[in-house]
Structures are given as structure tokens and as C-alpha cells.
Structure 1
Amino acid sequence: MIFIDSADINEVKQAVALGFVRGCTTNPALLAKVRQEPQSVIAEICRLVPGPVFYQLTGRTREEREQEAREFYQIAPDKIVLKVPMTTENMALVTELTPEIPCAATAVFSGYQTLLAIEAGCSYVIPYVNRATRLLGDGLKLVREMLEVVRASGRPVEIVAASIKTSDEAGAAYLAGAHHLTLPLAVIQAFGNHQLSEAAIAEFDRYRA
């Protein structure tokens, strides 16, 4: 599936109106930009999108994160997925939340972290593709490695590729094994465009009555 990576209600509306955007991912930075209560923003997004809505936990302690998880899950139990930053302590929290509450391990940068997320009970694992390319040299290799771990586990865990800056990078992440892509609105809007397609369309237009 294609998700929009945004907490801006207007952007989410534009994406959903296209008909092929099924869900939404958010993070603390995106929510901070809209300057509204996160609960109200997430609730509105849940009303707009047909599929999953990802919210990232921000509590400072494990107890705060667990309470936050249960509060946000109640906004829309049929849609909310909780993004949990990848640490050993946070994966211990995931074991307490799942399977009641679906969770996604985010900021995953290795195969062994993927394995831990799977064993903890995560339904999704989220690599930052472009950031991994900048910091590790090859974000697509990371996606392939994560897919190998998922397949070896035999569990129904899905990869959501994030931190994608271009249409080419999105397509490459999908070919590398990502089950889902979460994209900024600008990338979504450009995803179906190609200069050769535009040239062909312009040529066809010459023959219109």
C-alpha cells in the first residue's frame, strides 16, 4: 500500500482524494509542525483515511509510553498502529501491548533489530531508506536484509519504507522488498509522472479533434 507521511490535514485530504493512498504515518516532528493537539489531529486523520494510521509514542518513561499507547489506541482501535522507536527497552514494552494493540518498530537500521521487533510482536518494521543511504551507504540493502529476516521468521510482519525523497527511490524500495511505502505529498503527486510519458501524451494531443 501507499501511505502519506504527514500530519497536515490538508495534505492528507489531498492524498486520500487521489484514491490510491490507503493510510497515513506521522511522527513527533510532523505533528509539531501543525501546532494542534496530537489527539485531535490523529482523530481527524482516522476519519479521513480508509486504512492504518501510525502514531509514534513520545513518553519519557516506559510507564508514560504505555499509558500514551492505550490512550491513542482508543481513538480508533480499528485503525491505530503505534510506532515504537527501536530500542531494547521499547521492544519489551511492545510485548506488553501486543497482540491487543498493533505496533510498528520504527528507526530500524539492522537485520538484528528487525529480528528483535518480530520476536517482540511487532506487525510492522520501518526502515528510514534515504537516511540509511546517507549514514550507512545503502538504504536499499537494509530493506533487503530486513526482508530476509522477515521471511526467515515466517511471521506475517510487513516492512513500511520511510524517509523516501524521490519517485525513483520509492520504486527501488518496493523492488528491494518493502511491502508498503510512506511518502511525502510531493512524492505522491509526482509518482505517476515521467518526462517520456509527458512527451508521449503531448504527441497524442496533436491528433485530438
Structure 2
Amino acid sequence: MKYLIDTANIGMIEKCNDLLPIAGVTSNPSIIKKEGKIDFFNHFKKIRQIIGSAKTLHMQILAQDSEGIIKEAHTILENVDKNVFIKVPATPQGLKAIRLLKQENIGVTATAVYTKTQGLMAMEAGADYIAPYFNRMENLDIDAADTIADFAEMIAVYGYETQILAASFKNIAQVNTAFKCGAQTATVAPDILLAAFAVPSIQKAVDDFDADWQETFGDISICDLK
């Protein structure tokens, strides 16, 4: 079970990477838009420097034809680093590109997955990750939990090496459901992930412990005990 953060904000990536056991960073053009007209390649080189080589970085292409997808993928790999996972929408042209990219041993994340057929075909094409859009599926009256569970079952039955990278969440409950249904990974907006720790009862418990300690030992830390 791995958590990735869905953002291109340098400050937030530094914060989450410092505090939380995140496994990587994902982005797409809509996320990048929030940061403005960035120095694209240098921006993502900075992200790589922050998270290190052991964590995954997923970047999305824009082209819609297989030839263009492959060209953009090579450009990203040449200008950021060779370990980036290229996010490719699971369309017919995207599936063709995924097969060709995997022939070059390039890491691929099949994205914009709404249907079981998309996910299953992306597995068959060799995608390293498939990214079902949980909340967007729910908005279309598609059972996201059932879809993810079916993906997990097919991976187990047929031995696909693909991992389910669940995405598009509106709250942490959806993230937990995705994991329960078999997703190995999930990419979550930092505000949703951090909100899970903002429950008032958590801080109250911490404050109560502190008050009880001070009542017993006074205003002295554990480190200062003799």
C-alpha cells in the first residue's frame, strides 16, 4: 500500500516528503496549471531532487496519437530523467503507444481510466500502473469500488505485473475504499491527505497527554529527566 501526492507545488512536495511516508509524485496538465507557466523541465528536475531516485515520478504527455505520445515521452525522459513514468491516457492510440514504449522498457502509467475495458486492455498492453479515476467514475454512476476490485482480481488471477494507482478522490474515505478493494497505490491531493490528520480529537489527545505529564512531572521534558 503506497501513497503518492498529486501536485506540482514545490513547497507542498517538500512538506509532504519531509513529514509523510509518500512513495512518489504524480502530475498532469490541470495540476501544472495551478502553478502557472513554470520552467517545465527544470521544475520537474527539482521535484526529482526533492523526492530522490527511489520514489516514483509520473508525468503526463499531451499528444493524442501514438507517434506523438512516444515523441513526447522521449522528450520528457531526456530532459528530466530516464526513470519518469510516462502517463498515457488509455485510448486506442494510447494503448498502441503503451505497447511500443514498453518494448523500450520505459515506465508507463495508463491514466484517465473510467471503464473496466480500458484497465484490462492497459494491463494487456503492459502498463506498469493503471489509474482509475475514483470520484469521476462515481459522478458518472460507475461503481468505482467494484471496478477496482475487478482489476485487482484480474491481476491476481492472470499474474499481471500492473499495479492499480487509484486517483481522483474527493475525500480520504474514497482513498481507503480504493485500498480496501485492492488498489496497491493511490495518488491523493495533499490537502485531502493532510486533512486526515486535522481531526480535532487527535490534537486533543496529544494536548491531554501533555497536560497529564505536566501535572505529574511539571514543566520538564523527558530529555531533561535525571
1:37 maps to amino acid: D
CA deviations on 1:50-101 (whole Å, 9 max, x unpaired) are 31100111024332221110111232123x0001001111101111111420
After TM superposition, give the deviation of residue 158 of structure 1 in Å.
0.4
CA contact (8 A) 1:164 1:170 kept: yes
CA contact (8 A) 1:133 1:140 kept: no
| Number of equivalences | 208
Matched residue, 1:109: 114
Q: 1:60 to 1:129 in 2, by over 3 A?
A: closer
Q: Which of the two has higher C-alpha Rg?
A: 2
CA contact (8 A) 2:5 2:22 kept: yes
Give, in whole Å, the separation in 1 of the partners of 2:119 and 2:23: 24
After TM superposition, give the deviation of residue 206 of structure 1 in Å.
3.3
Give, in whole Å, the separation in 2 of the partners of 1:94 and 1:152: 22
1:97 maps to amino acid: L
Alignment partner of 2:190 out of 174, 185, 197: 185
Matched residue, 2:9: 8
Give, in whole Å, the separation in 1 of the partners of 2:144 and 2:204: 32
CA deviations on 1:137-164 (whole Å, 9 max, x unpaired) are 4322221122122222211110111111
Alignment partner of 1:36 out of 17, 35, 38: 38
Matched residue, 1:165: 170
After TM superposition, give the deviation of residue 182 of structure 1 in Å.
0.8
After TM superposition, give the deviation of residue 128 of structure 1 in Å.
0.8
Q: Secondary structure at the match of 2:4?
A: strand
Moved more, 191-200 or 130-139: 191-200
What aligned pairs does 1:105-144 form with structure 2 within 5 A after superposition?
A: 105-144=110-149
Q: Which runs of 4+ in 1 moved over 4 A?
A: none
CA contact (8 A) 2:119 2:132 kept: no
After TM superposition, give the deviation of residue 25 of structure 1 in Å.
0.3
Q: 1:156 to 1:61 in 2, by over 3 A?
A: closer
Q: 1:195 to 1:139 in 2, by over 3 A?
A: farther
Give, in whole Å, the separation in 1 of the partners of 2:130 and 2:208: 44
Give, in whole Å, the separation in 1 of the partners of 2:98 and 2:71: 13
After TM superposition, give the deviation of residue 193 of structure 1 in Å.
4.5
Give, in whole Å, the separation in 1 of the partners of 2:22 and 2:70: 29
Gaps of 5+ in 2: 215-226
CA RMSD across the alignment: 1.7
Q: Is 1:65 aligned with 2:69? A: yes
After TM superposition, give the deviation of residue 103 of structure 1 in Å.
0.5
Give, in whole Å, the separation in 2 of the partners of 1:65 and 1:83: 10
Report the TM-score when normalising by structure 1. Answer: 0.91
CA contact (8 A) 1:3 1:22 kept: yes
Give, in whole Å, the separation in 2 of the partners of 1:182 and 1:207: 38
Moved more, 82-91 or 182-191: 182-191
After TM superposition, give the deviation of residue 196 of structure 1 in Å.
4.1
CA contact (8 A) 1:105 1:125 kept: yes
Gaps of 5+ in 1: none
